[in-house]
Amino acid sequence: MPTAGIIYIQGINVNIKNLHIYRRTTQVFFILLIFSIPVLDILRYDTATRELIVFGQAWSIGLRPDFFIEHDISGATHVALQFFLKAILPWLFILSTFPLLGYFTGRFFCGWMCPEGAFFELADFLTLKLLGRRSLYGKKTNDPETSHDNKFLYAVITAISAIIIPAAGGIALTGFFIAPKTIWSQIINWDFTFGVKAGIIGVSVYMLISLIFVRHALCKYVCSAGLMQMLFGWASPVSLRIHLDAQRINQCTDCRACERVCFMNVKPRLPKKDINCVTCGECITACNKELGAGKGLFNFSAGDSNTKKPVWIPAFAGMTKQDKDT
Ligand code: SF4
Ligand code: SF4
């Protein structure tokens, strides 16, 4: 029995009220994951030993020590196989990750997992609290309304974030190239080699500039992972998208809540599919708040455009496809 406030995605019930919390949880998880990968030796390149460390082991092509003296078919097969398995296949896997993600999930990764996107949203939020608008460059028609209380508190949070986030990002990303233990011992002794200093300062400055001045423009026009997902998601007949139930558009109150929550400046009510949508689902939550739980006009859909029926996800929040059809 369908329940108001629930959306159905391939048999998984997702509570609309919790959609925002789920997204924040996945974003925090991925930030912690990126920070943990080099620390736990899951994946990093060690510039000191010139070794790629994968799950604690130095990555090797795995050729037998005497492979060069085997001039027979078995020796040649061994070399070819090891190169394919240990050099070509891993690269193919890495290179296909974002095209495949885009093909099946559109820009879902950008909206739900990307650590940089999460920090941009935090920067938007703090700018909104301090200046009454999301962007430094001026007010936009879709800027949300906000209270102007506690400005001093938000100024302090902004100042702390402007130091901690770029510095933590600098330390974490430098750890992908220099052993994290080396970095920490240099920080504790406050005695840095050129490589560590350059890594931390370079990444910190990049993060600070992108957080203050660039933000989601980077997601739209620069990020190659985002652009690959955008292109493959656009071309894919099955990628995850936001579906507007155009048949019920007369129930829209024109409150514009769906536009105000959209940090990518998408207008989700327009029939034209916008490639900048990161499938964050904030417009789904906003419309359900306005029209009542389970009655919102948006939902997740796969292979859907606003003019076609969804392929495998029911169009209605709170209804199965059978309910809709009957
Ligand atoms: S249109 Fe909706 S799902 Fe897409 S980015 Fe904007 S708020 Fe998120
Ligand atoms: S949130 Fe829903 S009701 Fe409000 S403008 Fe958007 S589609 Fe219409």
Give the pLDDT means over successive 10-residue stretches in the chain (326 positions). 50 65 96 97 93 91 73 80 85 90 95 97 97 93 88 97 97 96 96 96 97 96 94 92 91 95 94 89 95 91 58 37 40
297 CB less than 6 Å from ligand 1?
A: no
Looking at the CA of 287, which ligand is closest?
2
Point out the ligand 1 atom lying closest to the alpha carbon of residue 264.
Answer: 5
pLDDT at 149: 85
Q: Does 80 reside within a domain?
A: yes
Are 122 and 205 in the same domain?
yes
pLDDT at 14: 56
Determine the residue of 242, 282, 291 to mutate for testing ligand 2's pocket, defined as the one with the most ligand atoms within 8 A of the Cβ atom: 291
Looking at the CA of 251, which ligand is closest?
2
Point out the ligand 1 atom lying closest to the alpha carbon of residue 242.
Answer: 3
Protein residue with least CA distance to atom 1, ligand 1: 268
Cα separation, 122 vs 154, in Å, equals 11
306 CB less than 6 Å from ligand 1?
A: no
Are 205 and 279 in the same domain?
no
Which of 227, 258, 281 terminates a domain? The answer is 227
Protein residue with least CA distance to atom 5, ligand 1: 277
Give the amino acid at 59.
Answer: W
Q: Does 173 reside within a domain?
A: yes
Are 33 and 147 in the same domain?
yes
Are 124 and 16 in the same domain?
no
pLDDT at 72: 77
297 CB less than 6 Å from ligand 2?
A: yes
pLDDT at 114: 97
Q: What is the 3-state secondary structure (H, E, C) of the chain?
A: CCCCCEEEECCEEEEHHHHHHHHHHHHHHHHHHHHHHHHCCCEEEECCCCEEEECCEECCCCCCCCHHHCCCHHHHHHHHHHHHHHHHHHHHHHHHHHHHHHHHHCCHHHHHCCHHHHHHHHHHHHHHHHHCCCCCCCCCCCCCCCCCCCHHHHHHHHHHHHHHHHHHHHHHHHCCCCCHHHHHHHHHHCCCCHHHHHHHHHHHHHHHHHHHHHCHHHHHHCCHHHHHHHHHHHHCCCCEEEEECHHHHHHCCCCCHHHHCCCCCCCCCCCCCCCCCCCCCHHHHHHHHHHCCCCCCEEEEECCCCCCCCCCCCCCCCCCHHHHHC
Are 17 and 139 in the same domain?
no
pLDDT at 281: 95
244 CB less than 6 Å from ligand 1?
A: no
Q: Does 46 reside within a domain?
A: no
Are 201 and 117 in the same domain?
yes
pLDDT at 6: 54
pLDDT at 128: 96
Q: Give the count of domains, the chain.
A: 3
Ligand 1 centroid vs 282 CA: distance in angstroms? 6
Which of 193, 227, 261 terminates a domain? The answer is 227
> At which residue do the structure tokens 């789920």 appear?
22
Ligand 1 centroid vs 226 CA: distance in angstroms? 15
Are 180 and 313 in the same domain?
no
196 CB less than 6 Å from ligand 1?
A: no
The domain of 194 spans 27-41+107-227
Protein residue with least CA distance to atom 6, ligand 1: 262
Protein residue with least CA distance to atom 7, ligand 2: 252
Q: Does 285 reside within a domain?
A: yes
pLDDT at 315: 35
Are 95 and 132 in the same domain?
no
Are 291 and 304 in the same domain?
yes
Q: Does 232 reside within a domain?
A: no
Q: Does 47 reside within a domain?
A: no
Ligand 2 centroid vs 135 CA: distance in angstroms? 23
Which of 227, 253, 282 terminates a domain? The answer is 227
Q: Does 118 reside within a domain?
A: yes
Are 207 and 127 in the same domain?
yes
- pTM score, whole prediction: 0.85
Q: Does 198 reside within a domain?
A: yes
Looking at the CA of 244, which ligand is closest?
2
Are 17 and 31 in the same domain?
no
Are 176 and 90 in the same domain?
no
